[in-house]
Chains A and B, each alone.
Chain A
Amino acid sequence: MAKSEQPVGRRRFLKGAAAGAAGALVVKTAAAATVEPQAPPQQTRSVPASPQNAQLVADTSPPPAREDPRIIDRPASDFMVDVIKSLGFEYVGANPGSSFEGLHESIINYGDNKMPELLTCCHEESSVAMAHGYAKIDGKPMLALVHGNIGLQHASMAIYNAYADRVPVFIIAGNWLDGATRNNGVNSYHSAQDMALIVRDYVKWDDEPASLGAFAESAVRAYKIAMTPPMEPVLIVLDHDMQERPLPATPPRIPRLTMPAFPVGDPNAVRETARLLLAADNPRINAGRMARTPAGITHLVELAELLQAPVNGGGDRVNFPSRHPLAGTGGAAGADVILNLEVQGGGGPGFIATQRAPNAKTISISSLELYIKSNLQDFQHMADADIVMAADAEATLPLLIEEVKRQLTPDRRRALQERGATIAEVHQQARSVGMESAAYGWDSSPISLARLCGELWAQIQNEDWSLVSWQGFISGWPGRLWNIDKHYHYIGGQGAGAMGYGAPAAVGAALANRKHGRLSINIQTDGDLNYAPGVLWTACHHRIPLLTVMHNNRAYHQEVMFIQQMASRRNRGGDRAHIGTTITDPNIDYAKMAQAYGMYGEGPISNPKDLAPAIKRALERVKKGEPAMLDVVTQPR
């Protein structure tokens, strides 16, 4: 009873209980460390004394500050995530960098790493090239975060590719803007007075907002500019310190994104174009980076069928179905009216005006007329044309179709049908020639590229497939053998012809295909992969299903031919053309490379008879949702 009469203050009771628990915890931890069981310490019960004055003060004073004053519960970068979310980004690719650490943290915690989800990239070039490939499938930009100066310089080649390919990419680069507060060393190395200058020649717009409100406005404006034809990359340089400041109680307004109606051709020019096309004996349509959306293909098919005109669909987008009877040049007869849709460049040195009648009329519809920069020469030569419309070709096609319908008489329609039958015959002949060519070297080892593409087609033709690599280095075999008729069936090439684009663009495009359950195929050149192969790990880490089939010709093969040609012109022969151009001694084992990154890899495969079973095995992996690679040793082209 006497014990129970002792006064015990609540705080002291709690302190005692806490001390006991801590003691038990210490004993448990130690036991775990030493393995040997130890006797629990003896419990001692002390008699509480009357509270001293100091104790009273301690017990009645306000508790000490619970948190470090440096803690910011609601940083400004959270608001930046709100802005980013308002623009509907699905993914952000980044190689981590301290200049954007505030935004990085907000994306993964405040933003719950959703919309956008952060993708770990092993190189900034991969981040941007992934965004490049993603946009070609999804039709909208992906976000790429790059480190101040160094990350932006790593990313620069990929930005230029996207720029030349007219593809929107949204890039944010970190910077320590305030020279008074930035540290010496790396922070200073990674800061710039005008960081966007590094890539200004090949981004459509850039800004370095000095406040949160300015950031919101700049971000929305940048998105709008990137997505207005001609679509291009944009860059926001983001101050490091601004990301870390507390968010004001009333955050700034996020402007509403309203996309402009895209520019269309002048009605009089459209009318005259329709008249010329209908009156032509041998019109021809050339399409460059024309189809921005699936509707672009539908419109072009309708126009071509109305006119019964052949369509050269180009190699940069899927503009026209590859097996449509009007696909191709339409034969040897010189075209008397040529309609160029987003076709870049005209006749320069070495240009041969084949398949063109002497007095042919040329019409050009291109958004590139609205926008040009001066330094980099990607705009190429000026094209001679009789009618030029500074307009978006896809947006103009419905107007042109309506005008053609309005002017088309029943008699003319009958005459055009006859022409269409001839063009269809030429198309069929071209297909037959292509098929005969595919047979050449069918059983060769190394494996012919026609065989590689034929074996692939046999196993994907009944799937919802997507070729996420360029076919320029594989002699265009998919275009000759496969039925390419959907916008995601092919993503075209690099843009500026810079290597290192292929693998990351394929991963980005496969990422965009993933939510649709599409089967993504990457026919991957060996030289390209070796620029930044870490993207294979990114594909594995983020479970991006993609079949990569190596076109392993063990060379930067184009250059083998160029050096050989150069040496022969100088009467020195081509027996040293391999020096500096081939990737042999040792041969690279790409299956092992894939395996090292955690990917299913098989090969090298040199016997064509081994190819089909290997494709089947790899596709089983991809259909389960993972990337896989086959290393196929191939003929040079």
Chain B
Amino acid sequence: MIKERKARTGRKDTFSSILYELFFAVLALFAFVFPNVSAQAPTQIAAPLVGNAQTGKDLYLRYSCYACHSYDGHGGAGARLVPMRMTVERFSTYVRNPRQMPPYSTKLLSEAQMADIWAYIKSLPVSPEAKDIPLLAQIMKGR
């Protein structure tokens, strides 16, 4: 009996588990398709962060973001930031725990400040492509 109950319980658990996993699979798919929404907690919709680009520029310079990413985000020792493809939430998450660059915790930069920096980067103009720069096009043709 004990074994049978266990077995039945096991089946029920398996079924629950499938439902449970299916729920999160759908959620993950939804998150993949709608990345801006996916960053929000499923049970609580937070107000979207709105950054101030001018304040962000001051922070970008003060916290030496320019040192690795250049004054206007085109990269250098660090990655190119322009065009900014991350959401503000994704950006913040990355900067808190990055793969390579120095981490910036909430003690150092608040979520609001992170949004300001993101807004500044988002405002920076995108460079022309190499093929549209005559000098680079000419260098590329050279042997």
Q: Which residues of A contact B (CB under 8 A)?
A: 323, 431-432, 435-444, 446, 448, 454-455, 457-458, 461, 475, 481, 483, 557, 560-561, 564-565, 567-569, 571-575, 577-578, 635-637
- The CA of A637 and the CA of B70, in the complex, are separated in Å by 7
Q: A441-B70, A637-B77 are in contact. Are A571 and B107 (CB under 8 A)?
A: yes
* Chain B residues in 8 Å Cβ range of A454: 135-136, 139
B75 surroundings in chain A (CB, below 8 A): 437, 440-441
**Contact residue among A435, A572, A574 (Cβ-Cβ distance under 8 Å from B136):** A435
B76 x A475 contact (CB < 8 A): yes
Judge whether B91 is part of the interface by a CB distance below 8 angstroms: no
Chain B contacts of A635 at CB under 8 A? 70-71, 74, 76
Q: What are the nearest 6 A-B pairs in CB distance?
A: A568-B102, A441-B74, A637-B76, A440-B74, A573-B108, A439-B130
Residue of A nearest to B69 (CB): A636
> Are B67 and A636 touching (Cβ within 8 A)?
yes
Residues of A within 8 A of B68 (CB): 561, 636-637
B110, chain A: closest CB distance, angstroms: 12
Among B103, B132, B133, B139, find the residue whose CB has the most chain A CB atoms closer than 10 A: B139
A475 to chain B, nearest CB (A): 7
Name B129's contact: one of A439, A475, A567 (CB within 8 Å): A439
Which residues of the other chain, A, contact B128 by a CB distance below 8 angstroms?
A: 439, 442-443
Q: Is there contact, CB below 8 Å, between A458 and B71?
A: no
The answer to whether A448 and B70 touch across the interface, beta carbons within 8 angstroms, is: yes
Determine the distance from Cα of A571 to Cα of B102 in the docked complex, in whole angstroms: 10
With A448-B74, A573-B63, A635-B71 as contacts: A461 and B142 at CB distance below 8 Å: yes
Query: For residue A637, which residues in chain B have a CB less than 8 angstroms away from its CB?
Result: 68, 70, 76-77
Once A455-B135, A457-B139 are accepted as A-B contacts, the answer to whether A574 and B130 lie under 8 Å apart by CB is: no
B71 near A572: Cβ-Cβ < 8 Å: no
Q: Which one of A435, A441, A564, A636 contacts B102 once the chains associate, using CB atoms below 8 Å?
A: A564
In the bound assembly, the distance between CA atoms of A635 and B69 in angstroms comes to 9
| B70:A432 contact, CB within 8 angstroms | no
Q: Chain B residues with Cβ under 8 A from A481's Cβ? A: 139
| Closest CB in chain B relative to A616 CB, distance in Å | 14
Docked complex Cα distance between A562 and B128 (Å): 31
Contact in complex: A571, B105 (CB < 8 Å) = yes
Contacts of B71 in A (CB 8 A): 444, 446, 635-636
A391 to B108, CA, bound (A): 54
Contacts across chains A and B counted by CB atoms under 8 Å: 110
> Do residues A636 and B140 form an inter-chain contact, with CB atoms below 8 A?
no
Q: Is the CB of B70 within 8 A of A636?
A: yes
**Count class of interface residues, chain B:** 35 or more
Whether A569 contacts B140 by the Cβ 8 Å rule is no
7 A/B residue pairs, CB under 8 Å, sorted by A: A432-B140, A439-B128, A448-B70, A483-B142, A572-B108, A574-B63, A636-B70
Query: Which residues of A have CB within 8 Å of B63?
Result: 564, 573-575
Task: Kindly identify, within residues 57 to 115 of chain B, every residue whose CB is under 8 Å from any CB belonging to chain A.
Answer: 62-64, 66-68, 70-72, 74-77, 80, 82, 102-105, 107-109
- Given A574-B102, A636-B77, 20 new contacts (CB under 8 A): A432-B140, A435-B136, A438-B136, A441-B74, A441-B75, A441-B127, A444-B70, A446-B71, A457-B139, A561-B64, A564-B63, A567-B102, A568-B103, A571-B107, A573-B63, A574-B63, A574-B67, A575-B62, A636-B70, A637-B70
**CB nearest neighbor in B for A482:** B139
**Min CB gap A580→B, angstroms:** 13
In the assembled complex, the CB of B77 is this many whole angstroms from the nearest CB of chain A, namely 5
Query: A557–B67 contact, CB under 8 A?
Result: yes
Chain A: which residue is nearest B75 at the CB level?
A: A440
Smallest beta-carbon distance A583→chain B, Å: 14
A439 touches B103 (CB 8 A): no
Chain A residue at minimal CB-CB distance from B59? A575
Q: Are B130 and A436 in contact (CB under 8 A)?
A: yes
- When distances are taken between beta carbons in the complex, the residues of chain A under 8 Å from B103 are 568-569
Please measure, in the bound complex, the distance between the C-alpha atom of A637 and the C-alpha atom of B76, giving whole angstroms. Answer: 5
Q: Which of B62, B70, B77, B136 touches A561 (beta carbons < 8 Å)? A: B77
Complex CA gap A241/B118 in Å reads 71
Assess whether B139 is in contact with A573, with CB atoms less than 8 Å apart.
no
Across the interface, B67 reaches (CB within 8 A) one of A431, A442, A560, namely A560
Q: Say whether B6 faces chain A, with CB atoms less than 8 Å apart.
A: no
Residues of A within 8 A of B67 (CB): 557, 560-561, 564, 574, 577, 636
* Alpha-carbon distance between A481 and B108 when the two chains are bound, in angstroms: 39
Report B-chain residues with C-beta under 8 Å of the C-beta of A441: 70, 72, 74-75, 127
Q: Closest CB-CB distance, A208 to chain B, in whole Å?
A: 47
B143 contacts chain A at the CB level, 8 A cutoff: yes
Among the listed A431, A457, A574, which residue makes an inter-chain contact with B64, where contact means beta carbons less than 8 Å apart? A574
- Min CB gap B92→A, angstroms: 15
Residues of A within 8 A of B74 (CB): 440-441, 444, 448, 635
Closest residue of B by beta carbon distance from A565:
B102
Which of A323, A439, A454, A560 is the most central at the interface, judged by chain B CB atoms within 10 Å of its CB? Answer: A439
Give the docked Cα–Cα distance between A572 and B109 (Å): 10
- Closest A residue to B143 using CB positions: A323
Give the distance in Å from the alpha carbon of A442 to the alpha carbon of B125 in the complex.
11
Which partner residue on chain A sits nearest B76 by CB separation? Answer: A637
Complex formed: what's the CA distance from A351 to B86 in Å? Answer: 31
Q: Can you name the residue of chain A whose Cβ is closest to the Cβ of B125?
A: A443
- CB contacts (< 8 Å) of A443 on chain B: these are 127-128
Alpha-carbon separation in the docked complex, A560 to B62 (Å): 12
User: Hey, which chain A residues are within 8 Å of B77, CB to CB?
Assistant: 475, 561, 636-637
Contact A440/B127 with A431-B140, A454-B139 known, Cβ cut-off 8 Å = yes
Q: How far is the CA of A93 from the CA of B109 in the complex (A)?
A: 53
